[in-house]
Amino acid sequence: MAKKHSSLDRVLGRLDTLDSVNLANLVQRLARERSVFEEIFNTLQEGILVVGDDGAIEYANLSAHRLIGLGGDELAGQTLWRLVPGLRSSLGAALDDQAGIGAAPVVAREFELSYPEPRTLRLYMVPFRAASSGHGRRFAVILSDITKEKQSTEERIESERTSSILLLAAGVAHELGNPLNSLTIHLQLIERKLKKLKAAKDVESISESLRVCADEVARLDGIITNFLEAIRPRPPDLTDTDLMEVLAEVLRFQQRELADRGITVEAESMELPVVLADRNQIKQVFFNLAKNAMEAMRPGGTLRIRSRADDDSVYLIFADTGSGIKQEDLVRLFQPYHTTKAGGHGLGLMIAQRIMRDHGGQIGLESKDGIGTIVTLQFPRKDRRVRMLHS
């Protein structure tokens, strides 16, 4: 390869001595070689750019046009720093040529683009100077689309972190069950001994206290049971499900607590398409969302539940008139153990998100501090889900 370039350089050095025939042959040869290199570069999945010291794009292959979102010759003459805001400042000293070309490093950066669709690109930038060119320093830039790679890595990290947290939580909940069982047994023994004593005012008072303790122990046992059922990562048992029927059941269960807190519920009743869902898991999602809304509101607050459907999805929207969520807390709400409530465990929304993902759906959240919060549940329609599975 070095000999070929050396031979070509000698030929180019004798251009003035070439006749028209040899000159035409040389031009054809250069055109063929350029065409070969163009084909090679355009078959690459990575984007290739040649950029001047000022960021001006001198060459771009087809993949570079696709990755940056510009077609045809739209990249020619553009400035890379303008197409990728913030890139120039992030490169910093890498663009400083004071130390000479030998000291200039190979630069790697990751950045996000939103046009024509959101994606993450990795950039490698290598400085060079062509020996036979009068140009100053230039850069060869290689662009790779790492969107899927980054998403899969983030999902794997989240899955591993969530699994470890859920295992820990399940272990703690299981250990709590042992002292609760012991308390239940001893309360029953005390109750039997009291029955053998003569009726007296003190005995009746102690019996009433025992009943309260027994009820509270039973309530704690129920909370632990529901908690364990909610956090165990098991696949949903999908059956035809009427979401409004499940919602009505949850609201009936919470009716007393809603009334005690002075919360009004406005739930529109409309016929929704049937979805494939695990009834118990969806019940847990509805319960968690209603509970969060109740705890965010003062007496006199209102929980509004709306529903709608389109060709692809069924939606349930929970809107409360509570205290809302601060912007800095909003981005962390689905992280385990992050909570804005005193005494909260920070697992409710994370569990709801996992359940919705397992159902092929999504959970969205909007909030304004001091105004309220809106949570949107999106379920795939049964007929749409079947088409997706078939495809």
Question: CATH no. for residue 95?
Answer: 3.30.450.20
Whether 143 and 49 have beta carbons less than 8 Å apart is answered as: yes
What is the reported pLDDT for 377? 92
Low-confidence winner among 16-20, 211-215, 230-234 (lowest mean pLDDT): 230-234
State whether 345 and 263 are in the same domain.
Answer: yes
**pLDDT value of residue 275:** 93
CA dist 189 and 83 (Å) reads 77
- pLDDT of 302 strictly over 90: yes
User: Does residue 30 belong to any structural domain of this protein?
Assistant: no
User: Which has the closest alpha carbon to 257: 292, 232, 229?
Assistant: 292
Which pLDDT score, from 0 to 100, does residue 388 have?
Answer: 44
Tell whether 190 and 218 lie within a shared domain. Answer: yes
* Tokens found for residue 269: 């009743």
Q: Is a pLDDT exceeding 70 seen at residue 46? A: yes
Structure tokens at 246: 């499940």
Do residue 227 and residue 240 come from a single domain?
no
Nearest to 68 by CA among 125, 114, 108: 114
Q: Work out the average pLDDT over 201-213.
A: 75
Cis link prior to 235 (omega < 30° from 0)?
A: no
Any idea what the CATH number is for the domain that residue 221 is in?
1.10.287
Residue 1 has pLDDT above 50, yes or no: no
Among 233, 265, 284, give the residue marking a domain's end: 233
Same domain assignment for residues 378 and 249: yes
Rounded-to-integer distance, Cα 96 and Cα 104, Å: 8
Instruction: Give residue 265's pLDDT.
Output: 92
**In the chain, what percentage of residues exceed pLDDT 90?**
12
Number of domains in the chain: 3
Report the candidate in 54, 216, 14, 52 with the shortest Cα–Cα distance to residue 135.
52
Q: Identify whether residues 53 and 139 lie together within a single domain.
A: yes
The first and second tokens of residue 253, run together, are 């269960």
Which two tokens mark 383? 């007929």
Report how far residue 161's alpha carbon sits from residue 170's, in angstroms, rounded to the nearest whole number. Answer: 14
CATH code assigned at 356 = 3.30.565.10
CA distance 282 to 203: 45
Are 334 and 228 in the same domain?
no
Residue 5 lies in a domain: no
Cα distances (Å, whole numbers) of residue 96 to 10, 135, 137, 143? 34, 17, 11, 22
Q: Which residues of 240-271 are buried (b: 16+ CB within 10 A; e: fewer)?
A: ebebbebbeebbeebeeebeeeebebebeeee
Band of pLDDT at residue 201, cut at 50, 70 and 90: low
Pair 339, 303: CB distance under 8 Å: no
Structure tokens at 225: 């049971």
Does any domain span residue 135?
yes
What distances in angstroms separate CA 78 from CA 52, 73, 370, one per listed residue? Answer: 11, 10, 46
Last residue of a domain, one of 194, 209, 233: 233
316 in the same domain as 169: no
For residue 126, what pLDDT is reported?
A: 82
Residues 213 and 124 in one domain: no
Convert the pLDDT of each residue in 306-364 to its tens digit: 999 888 889 999 999 988 877 666 666 665 544 555 444 456 777 888 888 889 888 88
Over 80: is that where the pLDDT of 91 sits?
Answer: no
Higher pLDDT, 101 or 268: 268
In a domain, 36, yes or no: no
For 108, residues 6+ apart whose C-beta sits below 8 A from its C-beta are 122, 123, 124, 125
CA distance 201 to 203: 5
The CA-based angle 70-76-78, given to 5 degrees, is: 80
Same domain, 157 and 293: no
Are 176 and 112 in the same domain?
no
Separation of CA 97 from chain center = 40
3-class SS of residue 120: strand
pLDDT tens readout for residues 106-163: 678 877 887 777 888 888 888 877 655 556 778 888 888 888 877 776 677 666 766 6
Are the C-beta atoms of residues 233 and 302 closer than 8 Å to each other?
no
Q: Which domain holds residue 164?
A: 152-233
Distance CA 232, CA 227 (A): 9
Residue 170 lies in a domain: yes
Task: Please state, as a whole number, how many other Cβ atoms lie within 10 Å of the Cβ of residue 321.
Answer: 19
Residue 4 lies in a domain: no
pLDDT of residue 318: 93
189 and 171 fall within a common domain: yes
pLDDT bin (cut points 50, 70, 90) of residue 76 is: confident
| 344 part of a folded domain | yes
Amino acid at position 276, single letter: L
Structural domain ending residue among the three candidates 233, 250, 280: 233
Among candidates 188, 256, 173, 184, which has minimal Cα distance to 218? 184
| Residue 7, both tokens | 């031979």
Query: Do 68 and 102 share a domain, yes or no?
Result: yes
Residue 35, domain member (yes or no): no
